[in-house]
Amino acid sequence: MRRPGRDSGQVTIELLGMTPTILITLVLMWQFVLVGYTFTLAGNAADEAVRAGTAVPAGERDGACQAAGLEKLPDAWDGSVTCGGSGYVTAEVKLRVPVLFPGIGAFPFLEVKGNAGAVEEETD
């Protein structure tokens, strides 16, 4: 025989107990989204950089390549673009993954790399 009202407040207690777990799960999921988006940005910036690098003469390649790669990156992502190659142009983009909110800070140990390469175009 149960006494009425004995279970009152049980749902509230369970919700309060699960709230930190729910919040931590949401924060981790958001951070994983940022990591994935950083991989996408790095790959796209590398593609754009190598595309620009193949369209100019070899003496102007580094400047055009770096400018095109950095132009495609949002300001909140810290990164660098390195271009090289002769005949086969390569570009490597290194980006630091932001912590929770882009532009505030980045993980010092988590760096994402994007690479691209293309055959040099002939310019007349």
DSSP 36-101: HHHHHHHHHHHHHHHHHHHTS-GGGHHHHHHHHHHHTS-TTS-EEEEEE-SSEEEEEEEEEEESSS
Range of the domain at 97: 10-119
Interatomic CA distance for residues 5 and 39, integer angstroms: 54
Domain-located, residue 124: no
- The pTM is what? 0.77
Identify the bridge partners of residue 11 per DSSP, sorted by sequence position: none
Domain-located, residue 4: no
Domain-located, residue 108: yes
pLDDT along the chain (124 residues), means of 10: 65 83 93 91 90 77 82 82 81 86 77 86 62
Q: How many domains does the chain have?
A: 1
Domain-located, residue 2: no
